[in-house]
């Protein structure tokens, strides 16, 4: 499954970069290079081979862990991309953590107090959350917390290993911005799942047995209502990766999103190929793990 996904993604990525109006040889030697020099370079780079042969060579190299050489910097793409991925994952993990801490309790409160003030407040907040794209919330957040209040630095990235406190301070705004949309979406999902579960017969049976409502919620309702959240969070990783691109660009975080934007603007084909492949792989692996986790937690589902 994952293998097929990555195979299709590699085809798409290779097809797109093939159609891109960028000639790798011209990019490396400049516009004024002689035709002989260009031809010689194309030959050494294998650019004169048929497309399928180029694809096979590229795929073979990727499978061996060689993602190619950047046309822009002349450095191998792989190490740079994975280093950037590490910084992005840090951002992503903090965002998902913050989201879970806030979204799950919000959803539970809204479901228990269905139709009451708390429910309406949570749903208003979630509508507001999905209404603004990341670049708008990020810009407004910088204006308020960095420009006006001067509480937090507007942009930049400090490695946690270098200066832990400073690193965390630089991560606060980006993490908050990324998690807003996730919180809005997941809290709504938790609410609707829990509302459905609370209307089932086994919950009614548990109540009739005389178990306290707190016990019913903890031991019967939440276990079933929170399971689908795993799948939803895994699918949201797609949004998360998209949001990471924008947020890294705005906050000048040297993660994989920013690497990709730079690569796309410079038409650095090997870097684009590697970046997209790594992002798709991240998404597939997260969803694969989520499926396994789900089957492990829910004994009714069995995968062969």
Contacting another protein within 109-168 (CB under 8 A): 127-128, 130-136, 139-140, 143, 147
Only segment of 45-53, 71-79, 277-285, 294-302 that touches another protein (CB under 8 A): 277-285
Q: Does 173 bind another protein (CB under 8 A)?
A: no
Q: How many residues bind another protein (CB under 8 A)?
A: 43
Q: Does 12 bind another protein (CB under 8 A)?
A: yes
Among 20, 93, 289, 297, binds another protein (CB under 8 A): 20
Q: Which residue, 128 or 292, is less far from another protein as judged by CB?
A: 128
Distance in Å, CB of 280 to another protein, minimum: 4
Q: Which residue, 131 or 295, is less far from another protein as judged by CB?
A: 131
Only segment of 67-75, 108-116, 276-284, 292-300 that touches another protein (CB under 8 A): 276-284
Q: Which residues pair with 76 in a beta bridge?
A: 69
Distance in Å, CB of 242 to another protein, minimum: 4
Q: Could you write out the three-class secondary structure of the chain?
A: CHHHHHHHHHHHHHHHHHHCCCCHHHHHHCCCCCHHHHHHHHHHHCCCCCHHHHHHHHHHHHHCCCCCECCCCCCEHHHHHHHHHHHHHHHHHHHHHHHHHHHHHHHHHHHHCCCCHHHHHHHHHHHHHHHCCHHHHHHHHHHHHHHHCCCCCCCCCCCCCCCHHHHHHHHHHHHHHHHHHHHHHHHHHHHHHHHHHHCCHHHHHHHHCCCCHHHHHHHHHHHHHCHHHHHHHHHHHHHHHHHHHHHHHHHCCCCHHHHHHHHHHHCCHHHHHHHHHHHHHHHHHHHHHHHHHHHHHCCCCCCC
Q: Which of 254, 279, 39 is nearest to 157 (CA)?
A: 254
Q: Does 280 bind another protein (CB under 8 A)?
A: yes
Site map for another protein, 212-251, x if CB under 8 A?
--------------------------xx-xxx-xx--x--
Q: Which residue, 6 or 24, is less far from another protein as judged by CB?
A: 6
Q: Which residue, 197 or 280, is less far from another protein as judged by CB?
A: 280
Query: Interface with another protein by CB under 8 A: which residues?
Result: 1, 4-9, 12, 16, 19-20, 127-128, 130-136, 139-140, 143, 147, 238-239, 241-243, 245-246, 249, 260-261, 264, 267, 272, 276, 279-280, 283-284, 287
């Amino acid at each position: 499954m994952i293998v097929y996904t990555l195979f299709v993604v590699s085809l798409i990525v290779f097809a797109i970069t093939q159609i891109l109006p960028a000639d790798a040889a011209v990019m490396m030697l400049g516009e004024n290079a002689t035709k002989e020099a260009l031809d010689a370079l194309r030959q050494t780079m294998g650019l004169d081979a048929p497309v399928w042969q180029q694809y096979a060579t590229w795929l073979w190299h990727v499978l061996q862990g060689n993602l190619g050489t950047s046309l822009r910097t002349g450095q191998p793409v792989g190490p740079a991309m994975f280093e950037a991925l590490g910084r992005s994952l840090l951002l992503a993990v903090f965002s998902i953590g913050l989201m879970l801490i806030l979204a799950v309790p919000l959803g539970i409160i809204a479901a228990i107090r269905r139709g009451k003030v708390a429910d309406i407040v949570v749903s208003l907040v979630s509508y507001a959350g999905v209404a603004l794209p990341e670049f708008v919330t990020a810009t407004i957040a910088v204006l308020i917390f960095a420009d006006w209040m001067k509480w937090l630095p507007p942009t930049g990235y400090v490695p946690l290993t270098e200066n832990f406190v400073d690193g965390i301070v630089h991560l606060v705004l980006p993490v908050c911005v990324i998690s807003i949309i996730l919180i809005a979406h997941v809290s709504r999902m938790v609410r609707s799942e829990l509302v459905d579960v609370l209307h089932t017969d086994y919950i009614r049976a548990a109540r009739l047995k005389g178990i306290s409502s707190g016990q019913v919620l903890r031991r019967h309702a939440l276990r079933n209502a929170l399971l689908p959240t795993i799948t939803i969070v895994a699918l949201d990783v797609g949004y998360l990766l998209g949001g990471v691109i924008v947020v890294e660009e705005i906050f000048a975080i040297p993660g994989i999103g920013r690497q990709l934007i730079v690569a796309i603007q410079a038409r650095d084909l090997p870097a684009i190929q590697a970046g997209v492949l790594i992002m798709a792989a991240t998404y597939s692996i997260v969803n694969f793990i989520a499926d396994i986790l789900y089957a492990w937690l829910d004994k009714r589902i069995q995968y062969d």
